[in-house]
């Protein structure tokens, strides 16, 4: 049988990385077996609906490469793929009534006040177990209330005795006492189905074979199975994915600043890197590879290897992985990404084709995320104030005094040089250094400091000379001399 999985988000805002991973796993499971991957929009909560969130879902799926075969925007044979539209078609009401006829569900007319009175405080938490009050209503009474337009819901009628067992592909068999299964609401008083009901009905009607979802649904799964059984439907394969947490082992929240795909993209991460990273949060391939494209993932994805324990979102490692993607990029493609950033930081350099190319090259091997670039190259545009202590370097055997002396010696020599291109100036300097019996670092370290005002730069002294040119270089060296008290 052909595998069919689905991603079924609620349009309530940005895509949480936990949801992204669930979507990714659902996608990979389907693609690995040449199955279908569909998108269904679960907008049954009118309160939480956010305008534009559906478009955001389409865009995110597109940016991540998780192409769906069926969905609201692409159509398909089992639509509509938006639950609010299915409500209008009367789908859920029809199935709920079927359950009522089978005594597997019943109308409930209890007021909010009565429901509240059932609540108890346990350990500071509110716990409510419905008492099946309306189950005892006669058919007559129900008809009367319905005719009178009394607000109502439809509840699932769960037994109080016995056990219900279900199997999760990852967690194995899970057995729950039926006494734990409360009579959850299937159809709300506004006529919309709850997630609990719509999910089961739609997964069946849409032919979903593998239900991939977050761990938080594991404890309500027995109730879903009772629904499948009441209808006489096949129970799907369940795959419950573990949580993704922050460094404090708490559910990744908006507070962390990187809880959604959109946040990460804004922070300069590449979609491919995010997908790759998220795939490895809770799953690993047999061969221990880490850098994998979406196609690589499709090839080797085996859902049995999904981990059962929650994973901490390691921002550091994501940065590293993003850097790997940037470094492996074709220089031409990297340039497309880097140029706008360089242009914004150093407009004058970006207009010079040869300088732009050099900047791109020097930055590509050391950048982890694009926003790192300005900090690395800003000094080319302007020499910021610096502490002369950075002239001291133990290994280079330099200090302020030696640096001052070297710079003063060097200025006339560099004044005499015409060609500042890297190779030429490097040759010239090397000659000068050996002539004077110095070590490379003894001269080049202070020179680099004077030119950049930084202990760390994305390139060596001579490359800076080349990009800065003769006049600006000399100016900065003189500034260094004066800062050093010369």
Partner RNA sequence: GGCUCGUUGGUCAAGCGGUUAAGACGCCGCCCUCUCACGGCGGAAACAGCGGUUCGAUUCCGCUACGGGCUACCA
Subset of residues 278 to 337 that bind RNA, contact rule: CB under 7 A: 280-284, 286, 288, 290, 305, 307-312, 314, 316-317, 320, 327
| Cα separation, 393 vs 132, whole angstroms | 80
* Residue of 62, 254, 336, 397 with catalytic role: 254
Contact 58, 26 (CB under 8 A): no
Of the candidate spans 85-93, 173-181, 348-356, 379-387, the one that interacts with RNA by CB under 7 A turns out to be: 173-181
Q: Contact with RNA (CB under 7 A): which of 113, 140, 175, 418?
A: 175
The only residue of 28, 56, 142, 185 in contact with RNA, by rule CB under 7 A: 185
Provide, rounded to whole angstroms, the least separation between the CB of residue 22 and RNA.
Answer: 11
Q: From the list 4, 5, 10, 346, which residue makes contact with RNA (rule: CB under 7 A)?
A: 10
Are β-strands 4-7 and 311-312 bridged in parallel, bridged antiparallel, or unpaired?
Answer: unpaired
Of the pair 144, 351, the CB lying nearest RNA is at: 144
How many Cα atoms within 13 Å fall on the side-chain side of residue 274?
A: 28
**Residue carrying the six token digits 């309500």:** 220
Interface mask toward RNA for 230-259; x: CB under 7 A: -------------x-----xxx--------
Contact status: 358 vs RNA (CB under 7 A) = no
The dihedrals phi and psi of 194, each to the nearest 5 degrees, come to -85, 165
**How many CB atoms lie under 10 A from the CB of residue 459?**
21
Give burial (CB, 10 Å; 0-12/13-18/19+) of 81: buried
- Preceding omega of 94 cis (within 30 degrees of 0): no
Dist. CA 296–CA 299, nearest whole Å: 5
| 171 contacts RNA (rule: CB under 7 A) | yes
Q: How far is the CB of 310 from RNA (least distance, A)?
A: 6
Residue closer to RNA by CB (options 367, 483) is 367
- Residue whose CB is less far from RNA, 48 or 88: 48
409-468 binders of RNA (CB under 7 A): 422, 426, 440-441, 444-445, 448, 455-463
Nearest one of 116, 122, 64 to 260, comparing CA atoms: 64
Q: How far is the CB of 74 from RNA (least distance, A)?
A: 21
**Is position 128 an interface residue for RNA (rule: CB under 7 A)?**
yes
Q: How far is the CB of 454 from RNA (least distance, A)?
A: 7
Q: What residues between 70 and 109 interact with RNA by CB under 7 A?
A: none
- Closer to RNA at the Cβ: 79 or 441? 441
Instruction: For the CB of residue 385, give the shortest distance to RNA in the complex, in Å.
Output: 19
Q: How big is the chain, counted in residues? A: 486
Beta carbon nearer to RNA, 283 or 334: 283
**β 311-312/244-245 pair status:** parallel
- Known catalytic residue at 336: no
Could you please report the per-residue DSSP string of 257-290?
A: S--BHHHHHHTT--HHHHHHHHHTSS---TT---
Cα–Cα nearest to 209, from 234, 241, 226, 231: 234
Interaction between residue 383 and RNA (CB under 7 A) = no
Rounded to a whole number of angstroms, the minimum distance from the CB of residue 91 to RNA is 15
Which residue number, 80 or 232, has a Cβ lying nearer to RNA? Answer: 80
Query: Where does 83-188 show beta strands of DSSP type E?
Result: 105-108, 119-122, 125-128, 153-156, 163-168, 172-177, 185-187
Residues 188-227: x where in contact with RNA by CB under 7 A, - otherwise, as a string: xxx-x-xxx------------------xxxxxx-------
Half-sphere exposure of 54 (CA within 13 A, CB side): 14
Among 42, 70, 104, 202, binds RNA (CB under 7 A): 42
| Least Cβ distance, residue 379 to RNA (angstroms) | 11
Q: Does 44 participate in binding RNA (rule CB under 7 A)?
A: yes
Residue number, 351 or 456, with CB nearest to RNA = 456
- Residue 60, beta-bridge partner list: none
Residues 261-280 that bind RNA (CB under 7 A): 280
DSSP 349-389: HHTSHHHHHHHHHHHHTT-SSGGGHHHHHHHHH------GG
Smallest distance, RNA to C-beta of residue 459, A: 4
* Euclidean distance between CA atoms 111 and 151, whole angstroms: 8
Task: Tell which one of 127, 165, 205, 401 touches RNA (CB under 7 A).
Answer: 127
Q: Report the residue number, 302 or 351, with the smaller CB distance to RNA.
A: 302
Return the closest-CA partner of residue 53 out of 1, 14, 98, 105. Answer: 14
Q: Where in the sequence numbering do the catalytic residues fall?
A: 254
């Amino acid at each position: 049988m052909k595998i069919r999985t689905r991603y079924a988000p609620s349009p309530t805002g940005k895509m949480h990385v936990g949801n992204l991973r669930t979507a990714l796993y659902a996608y990979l499971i389907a693609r690995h077996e040449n199955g279908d991957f569909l998108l269904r929009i679960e907008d049954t909560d009118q309160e939480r609906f956010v305008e534009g969130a559906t478009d955001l879902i389409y865009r995110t799926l597109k940016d991540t490469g998780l192409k769906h075969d069926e969905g609201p925007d692409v159509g398909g044979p089992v639509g509509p793929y938006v639950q609010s539209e299915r409500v209008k078609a009367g789908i859920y009401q029809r199935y709920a009534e079927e359950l009522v006829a089978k005594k597997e569900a019943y109308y409930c007319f209890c007021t909010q006040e009565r429901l509240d009175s059932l609540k108890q405080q346990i350990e500071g938490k509110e716990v409510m177990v419905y008492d099946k009050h309306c189950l005892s209503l006669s058919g007559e009474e129900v008809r009367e209330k319905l005719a009178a337009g009394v607000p109502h819901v439809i509840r699932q009628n769960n037994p109080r005795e016995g056990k219900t067992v279900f199997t999760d592909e990852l967690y194995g068999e899970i057995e729950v006492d039926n006494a734990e299964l409360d009579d959850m609401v299937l159809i709300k008083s506004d006529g919309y189905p709850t997630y609990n009901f719509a999910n089961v009905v739609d997964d069946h009607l849409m032919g979903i074979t593998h239900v991939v979802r977050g761990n938080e649904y594991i404890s309500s799964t027995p109730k879903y199975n009772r629904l499948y059984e009441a209808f006489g439907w096949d129970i799907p394969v369940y795959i419950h994915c573990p949580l993704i947490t922050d460094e404090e082992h708490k559910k990744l929240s908006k507070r962390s600043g990187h809880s959604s795909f959109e946040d990460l993209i804004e922070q300069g991460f590449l979609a491919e890197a995010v997908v790759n990273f998220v795939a490895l949060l809770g799953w690993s391939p047999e061969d221990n590879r880490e850098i994998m494209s979406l196609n690589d993932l499709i090839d080797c994805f085996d859902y049995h290897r999904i981990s059962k324990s929650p994973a901490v979102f390691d921002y550091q490692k994501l940065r590293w992985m993003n850097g790997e993607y940037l470094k492996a990029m074709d220089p031409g493609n990297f340039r497309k990404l880097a140029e706008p950033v360089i242009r914004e930081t150093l407009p004058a350099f970006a207009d010079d084709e040869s300088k732009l190319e050099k900047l791109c090259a020097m930055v590509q091997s050391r950048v982890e995320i694009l926003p790192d670039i300005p900090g690395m190259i800003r000094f080319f545009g302007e020499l910021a104030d610096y502490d002369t202590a950075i002239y001291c370097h133990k290994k280079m055997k330099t200090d302020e005094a030696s640096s001052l002396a070297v710079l003063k010696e060097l200025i006339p020599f560099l004044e005499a040089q015409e060609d500042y291109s890297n190779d030429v100036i490097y040759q010239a300097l090397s000659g000068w250094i050996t002539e004077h019996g110095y070590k490379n670092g003894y001269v080049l370290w202070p020179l680099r400091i004077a030119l950049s005002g930084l202990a760390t730069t994305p390139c060596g002294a001579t490359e800076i000379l080349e990009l800065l040119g003769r006049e600006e270089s000399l100016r900065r060296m003189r500034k260094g001399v004066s800062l050093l008290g010369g």
